[in-house]
Amino acid sequence: MNKASTLKRILEIIPGGLSWSIIISLILLSFFYPICSAIIIISFDFYWIIRTVYLTTLLVMAHSRLFRQRNEDWLARCLGLSGNLGFSELYQIVIFPVYNEGVEVLRPSLAALSASHYPQEKIIVVMAFEERNIQAHDNALILEEEFSGKFGAYLSTFHPDGLPGESRTKGANATWAAKAVRKFLDTRGIAHEQVVISCFDADTCVDKEYFGCLSYHFLTSQKRHQASYQPMPVYNNNIWQAPSFARLVEISSSFCQMIESMRLEKFVTFSSHSMSFKTLVQIDYWPTNMISDDSVIYWKGYLYYNGDYRVIPLYVTVSLDVAYSNNIWRTMVVQYKQKRRWAWGVENFPFVVNGFIKNKNISLLNKLRRSFHLLESHVTWAVWAVILVVIGPLPMLFGGVFFSQTTIAYNLPKITGLLFKFTLLTSLTWIFLSWTILPPRPKGISWFKHVLLILEWIFVPFIILIIGSAPAIDAQTRLMFAKYMEFNPTLKGNKVL
Amino acid sequence: MLNFQRTRGLLFYLSVFLFCVGLPVILSFALGYKFNTHTLKFVKTGLIFVKTQPAGAKIYLNGKLITERSPASMHELLPGAYKLTLELAQHYPWKAEVEVEAGKVSRVDKVILFPVRPNLQQLNQEKFSSFRIDTEKKMIYYLDQEKKILYRSNLDANNFEDIATLPDKFMQINGWEVSADRKKLFIFNHHQISVIFFDTQMDDEYSASTVLLDYLQEKIADVFWHSDSYHLVVLTDKHVQVVESRLGAVPINLVELNKAQAVAFYDIKGDTLYFSDNQRSPDGSAYNNLYKLELSANLYSLERLFDQPFGAANYLQKEK
């Protein structure tokens, strides 16, 4: 093993090693030094409450921005820009990497795109199929017949299987499609800097104002090419049909993304996102051998521009499918796998730190800050639910007679109980906000579902147990032992638009 | 966006401030530390936790009334002895001296405050000789020797009904018990056992007429119902017997007793008889032993024992 490989392995071990060290240390402390463990638990609980209140406030702020901007006529604002800033020359490319999704998933995505409040002749759509999918060519033909005349250009690409240096990932397919688009643009003499590219999950249905909003922010941003543009993902496509469990998880995911949009210094691209095509070419496209291509693309930009690269939040929604299956157990498995795939974003840590080591132009402070944020977010994800739910009661259960007679043993459950009652207030805020982002109730869905949508929040503690920390621990442990994950798309339910 | 970021920054630093200020306060409270404003030092305290049955008692600590009522905990108490008094209206007060240790909890959580006036109810005004309580069926059975009747009521002494008439010639009653099926009772004295069927619940399976069993040669010490509500387990001065509750039934001697005044307990759930008996060893020493006789198997196996009656001690020796 050479030096680079050794460093990579060490960096891969750090997040999982840290998470497991924290968990095991706290368990051992609960047995042998229960007072010390109780002090840590109370401190963590208090930290968690403050953090929850802080993040909920950010959520309210993000939600307020989203609602203020939801009825904005972005196209009119683009047209009203002084000096035009190049709007008339701007092209939008949309790539839909397709793994094995059928036309029933892809059709609504294209329909939403064609309904955009944006000049359709400026939109170039690329349906990026996998050659190994035997249905790919048939599906491509069906969709071409339906949609090829509705946009400025409509391309279907077929990514060959098993190219050298590639894994079976979404990024590899998207990169293949982006290279094909590059040829298309070059043959038509369209400058790369006049093009914004969006890479959407196959089930992404854009808001009709999305491209107007994206264009406005792109054109008005300083260093427009040194930024990615991140819409707010909501899981509204089939939210009325999805079971409570899956619905709650996805609403929470949307909220987390909205919160992140308020923390610009930590904000990283996630799922469907957009960026300058020029930059995409410069940074050599999406990674072709990593699962978390959506966030790695940000880090590639960050490293390429020596830290002068950012993510600009767009307070406009893109709607995706809730991942669920035909029974609760399978839904849990589907959700677990999806969250594990997201948690596999921990592979960014070795990638980024390795990049930082090679890059001499980013300040040490920035490198340390960003590395710490990245590591802290993944480790916290892996341990928080374990500490709150599993380790919290351990000192009381295994602390022994001496500990049970101490004041801290008496006060521990009372203090934690009181702190968690306080978090109920934040839960009420989340419940209210979740209600406001729901799409209109489709015909045939009872009004009682509205009530259910509120009552289902009582399942939150159960959900915390299932998908709170476990997927993150799983992903980090796999990375620790070099058991690399393969891309495994999430099973999505049918859309109802 | 800049305004949002500025607000967020303020929120962030406010959260950090709250954490930094709040955590020491919470931890010192949890660990029992108290800041002494006179000495300007932290001192470690203890607490007393009080729980009473019933709840709601006033709590006096060193004679001073605490605002909380039981159950309650008194925090930040300096180590030492405290006089604790618990008072609840219409109840006897409870007093004790409680020792408080630094960083420890003194639990006073097993206090029962007894009412000054016990909750005593007179259920009825009857002339009965004895009674039995059936908690399962929520019944009270009353035996009136003078009128020679058995009657019953519910547990609140309502809904009285006569259910059996005792035989006239049965004078002295030493004991009685209602069967597990609640369809009959036995009464006994030293030389007679009578099984009387309840008037209200006739059973086709058994004869409804009163059964009288005479014990002329033996003196009856105790009688028990077997769980089948048909056999009686009888302890006499000479034997442990079983006998069917029918006219002309012949008792089966299961065990021959050495002691004339054996005592017994019958566990009807397991159909097991525990009884005492004497045993004299070859060296002449006398022992008083306790025996266990299981009758849960079907009683036909006991008839085999009837062929060879023997003393309990002899029986056990043979088994060895």
Within-domain flag for A52: yes
CB-based contact A218:A229 (threshold 8 Å): yes
Residue A492 in any domain: the answer is no
By Cβ distance, the residue of B5, B26, B45 closest to A415 is B26
Q: How confident is the model at residue A317 (pLDDT cuts 50, 70, 90)?
A: very high
> ω into residue A233 within 30 of 0, thus cis?
no
B158 in the same domain as B93? no
Q: Does B43 touch chain A (CB under 8 A)?
A: no
Is residue A496 pLDDT above 50, yes or no? no
User: Is residue B73 in a domain?
Assistant: yes
Same domain, B48 and B91: yes
Does residue A201 carry a pLDDT above 70? yes
A410 and A471 belong to one structural domain: yes
| pLDDT at residue A119 greater than cutoff 60 | yes
Q: Is the pLDDT of residue B203 over 80?
A: no
Would you say residue A490 lies in a domain? Answer: no
DSSP B210: P
* Rounded-to-integer distance, Cα A492 and Cα B184, Å: 71
How far is residue A76's CA from residue A73's CA, in Å, rounded to a whole number? 6
Whether A357 maps to a domain, the answer reads: no
User: Does one domain contain both B106 and B146?
Assistant: no
Q: Which residues of A149-166 are buried (b: 16+ CB within 10 A; e: fewer)?
A: ebbebbbbbbbeeeeeeb
Between chain A and chain B, the number of residue pairs with CB atoms below 8 A apart is 68
Residue B304 lies in a domain: yes
pLDDT tens digit sequence for B273-288: 999 888 877 888 888 8
Q: Residue A489's pLDDT band (boundaries 50, 70, 90)?
A: low
**Do A82 and A144 lie in a common domain?**
yes
Average pLDDT rounded to a whole number, residues A222-245: 90
Average pLDDT, rounded, for chain A: 90
User: In terms of domains, do A139 and A247 share one?
Assistant: yes
pLDDT at B227: 92
Task: Give the integer Cα–Cα distance in Å for B211 and B187.
Answer: 10
Residue B281 belongs to what domain range? 136-319
pLDDT beyond 70 at B309: no
Contact state of B47 with A51 under an 8 Å Cβ cutoff: no
Same domain, B105 and B149: no
In a domain, A21, yes or no: yes
| A282/A307 same-domain check | yes
Residues A312 and A374 in one domain: no
Number of domains in chain A: 2
**pLDDT the model gives residue B304:** 34
Regarding whether A198 and A312 lie in a shared domain, the answer is yes
Asked if B217 and B302 sit in the same domain, the reply is yes
B199 and B108 co-located in one domain: no
Query: Which residues in chain B (57-116) have CB-CB distances under 8 A to chain A?
Result: 73, 75, 103-105
Q: What is the mean pLDDT of residues A181-208?
A: 95
Inter-chain residue contact B27 with A39, CB threshold 8 Å: yes
Chain A contact for B23 (CB, 8 A cutoff): yes
| Whether A19 and A91 share a structural domain | no
Per-residue pLDDT tens digits for B224-275 = 999 999 999 999 999 999 999 988 889 999 999 987 788 899 999 989 999 9
Cα A387 from Cα A381, distance rounded (Å): 11
Pick from A430, A431, A391, A428: which is nearest to A412 by CA? A391
Q: Coil, strand, or helix at residue A179?
A: helix
Tokens matching residue B308: 């060879």
A459 backbone φψ class: left, alpha, beta (φ>0; ψ -120 to 50): alpha
Residues B258 and B140 in one domain: yes
CA of B23 vs chain A CAs: smallest distance (Å): 7
Domain termination residue (choose one: B112, B146, B164): B112
Evaluate whether residue A343 is within a structural domain. no
B147 in any annotated domain: yes
Residue ending a domain, among A273, A305, A330, is A330
Q: Does a structural domain hold residue B168?
A: yes
Is A58's CB within 8 Å of B11's CB? yes
CB atoms inside a 10 Å sphere around CB A310:
17
Whether residue B106 sits in one domain with residue B188: no
Measured distance between the N- and C-terminal CA atoms of chain B, rounded to whole angstroms: 96
Instruction: Pick the last residue of a domain from A303, A330, A357.
Output: A330
A389 and A315 assigned to the same domain: no
- Whichever domain contains B54, its CATH number is 2.60.40.10
Q: Name the pairing type of β-strands A195-199 and A273-276.
A: antiparallel
- Assess whether A94 and A230 both reside in one domain: yes
Q: Does B47 touch chain A (CB under 8 A)?
A: yes
Residue A426 structural domain = 3-66+367-480
Q: How many domains is chain B partitioned into structurally? A: 2
Residue of chain B minimizing CA distance to A259: B8
Same domain, B98 and B221: no
In a domain, A256, yes or no: yes
Instruction: Determine the Cα–Cα distance for residues A143 and A162; give it in Å rounded to an integer.
Output: 26
Average pLDDT over residues B85-103: 95
Residue A342 has pLDDT above 70, yes or no: yes
CB contact under 8 A, B30 and A47: no
Identify the band that residue B318 occupies on the pLDDT scale cut at 50, 70 and 90.
very low
Tell whether B15 is covered by a domain: no
Q: How confident is the model at residue A59 (pLDDT cuts 50, 70, 90)?
A: very high
Q: What is the mean pLDDT of residues B19-28?
A: 94
Q: What is the pLDDT of residues B135-158, one digit of tens each?
A: 999 999 999 988 889 999 999 888
pLDDT of residue A270: 93
**In this prediction, what percent of chain B has a pLDDT beyond 70?**
89
Contact between chains at B105 and A407 (C-beta distance less than 8 A): yes
Least confident range of A186-195, A438-447, A477-486:
A438-447
Q: Is B1 among the domain residues? A: no
Give the ranges where A359-440 is alpha helix by DSSP (H). 364-385, 394-398, 400-404, 407-436
Report pLDDT digits (tens) over A37-58: 999 999 999 999 999 999 999 9
Do A191 and A57 fall into the same domain? no
In this structure, the answer to whether residues A86 and A139 fall within a common structural domain is yes
Q: Are residues B59 and B169 in the same domain?
A: no
| pLDDT at position A344 over 70 | yes
Chain B interface, best mutation among A44, A310, A404, A407, by max B CB count within 10 A: A407
Integer angstrom CA distances of residue A488 from A107, A135, A292, A332, A336: 22, 18, 12, 16, 12
Token couple for A458 = 């009582």
Judge if B290 and B159 occupy the same domain: yes
Find the range with the poorest average confidence among A53-67, A316-330, B119-133.
B119-133
**Does B71 sit behind a cis peptide bond, omega within 30 degrees of 0 on the bond before it?**
yes
Q: CA of B29, closest CA in chain A: separation in Å?
A: 8
Residues of A in contact with B74 (CB under 8 A): none
- Helix (H) and strand (E) counts in chain A: 19, 8
Q: Are residues B48 and B155 in the same domain?
A: no
Contact A203, A492 (CB under 8 A): yes
CATH of the domain at A157: 3.90.550.10
User: pLDDT value at position A158?
Assistant: 97
> What does residue B276 show for φ and ψ, rounded to 5 degrees?
-105, 150
Same domain, A62 and A76: no
Task: Count CB atoms within 10 A of the CB of residue A460.
Answer: 16
